[in-house]
Amino acid sequence: MPQMIIANRLTDGRVVFLAPGEQWNTAIAAGAVIEDDAEAERLLEVAKGHQARSLVIDPMLIQVRIDDGQVRPTEIREVIRAFGPTVRTDGEAAGPVTGIAPGAERRGEGVARLRRSTKE
């Protein structure tokens, strides 16, 4: 199971992913996909070092999957952290389809897809 490291950036609280070169990026697409467990542990230690230097908070390893070349977390919580709320944030009412917000549709998120992604 491929993994990635996720954290919150200290200064603005934004969700960030550890990218190649030990940099942090807000886009999961830029995050380093880690295939090897030993490498995962090593990078987690690197991330904890960044936490000790007050760059990020609560770095942790998450499981991801690659769907059509797109990286997605397997857990619903991390999907929401990576892609934002599943509900509209523009103050408008939810769209006509049950449980799926138009914004989520544009991101290709729909509830059904969220469900599938957690069944691994």
Partner 1 sequence: MYRYDEFDAKFVAERVAQFRRQVQRRLAGELTEDQFRPLRLMNGLYLQLHAYMLRVNVPYGTLSSRQMRTFAHIARTYDRGFGHFTTRQNIQFNWIKLEEAPDIIKELANAEITSIQSSGNCVRNITSDQYAGCAKDELADPRIYCELLRQYSFLHPEFSYLPRKFKIAVTGSPNDRAAVAVHDIGLRMHRNEQGRIGFEVLVGGGLGRTPYIGQTIRKWLAPEDLLSYVEAILRVYNMQGRRDNLHKARIKIIVNQMGIDKYRELVDQEWEATRNGALKVPDAEVERIRSYFAPPAYETLPDMAAELAAARKADRAFDRWVRGNVVEHKVPGYAIVNVSLKAPGRVPGDITADKMDAMADLADRYSFGEIRVSHRQNLVLVDVKQSDLQRLWRELFALELATPNLGLLSDIICCPGLDYCSLANARAIPIAQDISRAFTDLDELQRIGQFTINISGCMNACGHHHVGHIGILGVDKRGEEFFQLTLGGSSDQHASLGDRLGPGLAQTEVPAAIRKIVDTYLVVREHGERFIDTYRRVGIEPFKEAVYGSESQAA
Sites of contact with partner 1 (CB under 8 A): 8, 10-15, 51, 53-54, 57-58, 74-77, 80-81, 84-91, 93-94, 98-99, 101, 111, 115, 118-119
* Nearest-approach distance from CB 39 to partner 1, in angstroms: 25
Q: Which is nearer to partner 1, 43 or 73 (CB)?
A: 73
Residue 6: alpha-carbon gap to chain centroid: 7
* Nearest-approach distance from CB 96 to partner 1, in angstroms: 8
- E strands in the chain: 3-9, 15-19, 23-25, 56-67, 70-73
Q: Which is nearer to partner 1, 12 or 69 (CB)?
A: 12
- Biggest CA–CA distance in the chain, Å, is 47
Query: Residue 63 — φ and ψ, nearest 5°?
Result: -90, 140
